[in-house]
Every structure is written in structure tokens, then in C-alpha cells.
Amino acid sequence: MSSPLKRLCHWGPIAVLGIIKLITWAMIHLMSMWWPPHVSLAAALHSILFITLAALTLYYFLQSLLEGPGFVPKGWKPEKEEDVEYLQYCTVCEGFKAPRSHHCKKCGRCVKKMDHHCPWINCCVGHANHGYFSTFLMFAVLGCFHASIVLVTCLHHAINRVWYLYNGTGQEPMIYLTLTTLLLTLLATGMAVGVVLAVGALLYFQIRGILSNRTTIEEWIVEKAVGRREEQGLHPFVYPYDLGWKANWYQVWAGSLYDGLNWPVLDGCGQYDLTMEQKAQKIEKQQRSRLFSAVSEYSGRWIPILSWPRAALSAPCTDEPRLALGVGDVIRATRQRRQWLFGEKQVQMGEARAPRGWFPREAVVPADEVKVKPD
């Protein structure tokens, strides 16, 4: 995994820093004409409010990026040897996955209490930076909501400046924009409104997850657990980490009190209940899987418009990898779409982690349909 400072050298963090700079510049430039901070105490407080929101947004963004999610130590195993049967083994990190941890392909490590990999901070959101990340989202939404109101109002006055000169009361502030500053202000306004809508939605899901003490991945595991147990007539699954919204909230913002490897659970629940449920789901997933054999080569291109046009028109909208195929490769498929399959190559004994990803359905046939040529 790259060092914290190297995480900044990526399009995601650079884009966020650019957006913060653009919106801050537009606000300072327009506030100097609309409501200069030196004219009154209210104007000064207004400017201080926005600058504070912008500074806090930048601070918590950098904290969530530089702190990182927290990684499970390589080669980790539980203190009690008999507990290994409840855990999954990571062949990349050469250790067991701690409760609530998952391996991130992009980070290349098992992440403590992994929520998701965020390209904007170029690392995962996990145990160590969950509180910083959520606070960053909150201040970003508040700051951009403030900016949206001011920028839209100033743009209205700037575009209608001539009308105000002839028909106004004479008390309206005059907003003067060149073509360049007008275009930059329009861009900043669009960015601010976009952040309020998109990041506001993400903030809602983050708060909902914090209050129930469930990460994005755990939401999906619990949803499958409910359906699986109803279908098989098993007793309902009890999520072990929901300790009540106050305790859940405290757990995120007092993360330093926990090591990210062991977690408090509800009375009557065990430390490995969620992990055992996930293992059971994976076993069933393997049982439902189907073997396929590649009859055509696939380069691994995301949109193979020339070789597989039908598949290219319905490519999966996901950042999951594509799986390059050679004729004769055997793949165990676990998910399907109309023109695509998701699976894992069957590797030889002793080989490292098997590559997996999406590939065109037309490139393979069921393994039991492959005809073996007689000697």
C-alpha cells in the first residue's frame, strides 16, 4: 500500500482539492462585491462562517486520507487457535481476516471494518478514518449548501446588472464579472449544487449505517442472511454489533478506544457470528456456481466493442475487474447478467490467488458441454 502522502497523487484527491479551491475562490471573489466583510459585523461573520466551513472540509478530507482506514496486520490470527475455524483466510495478506474486515484489491490489504473503497480519498473508508470521512461529508454539504445560495444569488445579479442599473432602487450591490470569471463562477455553482445532491445522498447513507453500526458490506451480508434463513427455515439472524444508536455513534467517533480486531457485541451473540454467516453464504454461493470453459479469447477490455459488440452495449456498471480469458481456461461463475458472467479462474495447485472478474458470456460454454477429442 502506498504511503499516506502518495495517496494525494491521484486524480480523486486532486479533483477534490480543485473543487474546494474553485468554490472557495468564487465565494471570496463574489462576497467581496456582494457583502464585503469590512462593511459590517454581520458581513464579517458571514465571511468567517464560510471560510470556517471550507477549512473544516479541507481538514477532515486530509485527515480521512492521511489517517487511512487501518489495516489488519499481515499474518494475523486470533489469540485462540480453535477460533480459526470461524474465520476466512486471506492468501494475499497470508493471515486470517479479523471480524468485520475485508480484503481490498485496490489497497492490497485487509481493511479493518471496511465500508467501501473511496476514489476521492484514494483509500478505503474503515475503522480508523470512518469518523473523519463522515465529518468531511457533513462539512462539505454544509459549505456547498451555503455557497450554492450565495453563488446563485450573485449570478442572478451579475447577469441582470444592466436591469438593476435602470430599474433598481440603487441600493443593490453591483456584481461585475468578466467572461472568464463568469464561466468559472458558473462552474463553481454547478460543482456546489452537485456536491449538495450527490454528497448529501452519501452522507445520508453513512449516517444511517453509523446509527445501526453496519458498514455498506455488512448491510449486504445481513440482507442475504435474512433471505437465506427464511428460505431454509432457520432461526432469524441477529446482527451482533448493533448496540443502540448512542453506543454505535460513540464507537465511530471514539475509534481509538478499539483496536479494530475485537468488537463489543450484543448479549447472547458471539464475536464471530457475522463471520460464520458470511462463510455459510460463500459455501452456498460455491454450491450454486457453475463451471465454464473458454472457447474464445477475451482481452479483458472494459468495453470490447469490436470483438464482443453485444456484450459491450450492456457492460456492467461497476469498478470490479474484467477477467482476461484464453482458450481452454476453466472458470467458476458465481454471478450472471444477460451478456456477462462473473467468476474466478481455476488455478493449479500452489498458484497464488486466482484472478476473477467479469467476462462476456459468449466467450465461454458450460464445461460439461466441451467435447473431449479421442486420442
- What are the residue numbers of the active site? 118
Helix axes 130-159, 245-253, angle to 10 degrees: 90
In this structure, what C-alpha cell is assigned to residue 319?
469498478
Question: Residue 146 in 3-state DSSP?
Answer: helix
* Measured distance between the N- and C-terminal CA atoms of the chain, rounded to whole angstroms: 50
Q: Give the Cα separation of 90 and 81 in Å (integer).
A: 17
Q: Which of 74, 71, 53 is nearest to 137 (CA)?
A: 53
Report whether 305 contacts 312 (CB < 8 A): yes
Q: Write the DSSP string, 287-348.
A: HH-EEEEE-S-B---SS-TTT-HHHHTT---S-PPB--B-TT-EEEEEEE-SSEEEEEEPPP
Q: Give the Cα separation of 185 and 189 in Å (integer).
A: 6
DSSP H or E run through 354 = none
Centre a 10 Å sphere on the Cβ of residue 183 and count the other Cβ atoms it contains: 11
DSSP H or E run through 109 = strand 109-111
Q: Which of 24, 17, 26, 29 is nearest to 49 (CA)?
A: 24
Torsion of CA 189, 10, 318, 275, to 10 degrees: -120
Q: Which of 366, 284, 356 is nearest to 325 (CA)?
A: 356
